Amino acid sequence: MNTIDKHTLLIKETAAMLGFEYCGIAKAAFLKEDARRLETWLNKGMNGTMTYMQNYFDLRVDPQKLVPGAKSVITLLLNYFPQHQQKPDQPKISKYAYGEDYHFVIREKLNTFFNIIKEEIGEINGRGFVDSAPVLERAWAQKSGLGWIGKNGNLINKKQGSYFFIASLILDVALHADDAYAKDYCGSCTRCIDNCPTQAILPDKVIDGSKCISYFTIELKDAIIPEKLKGQFDNWLFGCDVCQDVCPWNSFAKPTNEKRFDPLPEILNYTAKDWDEMTEENFKIIFKNSPIKRTKFSGIKKNLQFLEK
């Protein structure tokens, strides 16, 4: 077995050992087409008040500017689909936020991943990323054979759907690249487009982030939600899963094996009254390690009032 074969096998085996369901590898290169699409999306203002998405544009589309001498981009998928879910009449929480903050969980795994391969390969240069740095994760996931980009903008895996966190590891190590996922299996289906409560999903796989319920309930935090949208949020208190819930490919979703993603009891049991009566002190205690803390206590209260009919 030559060196590249050996290192590629090490990457795949380490990913599986750490609990990642899928691991794909692509050659590090400039993302020309994705750069064009991102620039058009930003120019149309579809990022709303998320101005941070305009930052570090050149880094987002060129991994060699993130890691000098980068040769390979490793993409990892970690399933978060919960075994137990909320009751239909509760204020809704996006499934990715049921348990512990994925940033904590995946960063820990990536650090372990990097240390293992460093011990085996030797002195290497690389960086791990999880939704907190300028990396176009879904583009790399498709290029490394893990799925296709659906009409709802999510990466869809033919075997398990789209309830995955995506992590990236960029290395200056030569590896065997997987074949890109060339086929789009959405076909003529438009369920995600038809069911989006705020018509945020546009043709050609374009998502108007400034209209998305997740944007209003998470990103805006203390800002006021436009009155004209009242009653359109389908009872979503934090985030939104509609475009994933209606996707036929998610009928193949399997419950996660990651115990740190198990739902908090409050998320499964809280009624609108419980949320309304919650104090800021309790909010900080209950959601200390949860993604929900991102919107702050004031954001939850704002969202709750907005959902009231």
Please tell me the least confidently modeled range out of 19-33, 77-91, 250-264, 266-280.
19-33
**The two three-digit tokens of residue 132, written as one number:** 């907190």
Residue 220 has pLDDT above 90, yes or no: no
Type of residue at 47 = N
Q: What are phi and psi of 207, to 5 degrees?
A: -110, 125
Strands, E assignment, 39-86: 72-79
Alpha-carbon distance of 97 to 123, in angstroms, equals 36
Distance of CA 190 to the CA centre of its chain: 21
Q: Where are the alpha helices (DSSP H) in the chain?
A: 3-17, 32-43, 57-60, 63-66, 102-121, 137-143, 191-195, 213-214, 242-245, 265-269, 272-277, 280-286, 296-307
Please tell me the least confidently modeled range out of 36-45, 140-149, 231-240, 266-275.
36-45
The reply to whether 5 belongs to the active site is no
Q: With bands split at pLDDT 50, 70 and 90, how would you rate the model's confidence at 278?
A: very high
CB distance 177 to 72 below 8 Å: yes
Q: Which of 58, 131, 194, 274 is catalytic?
A: 131
The Cα-based distances of 218 to 65, 222, 237 in angstroms read 30, 9, 9
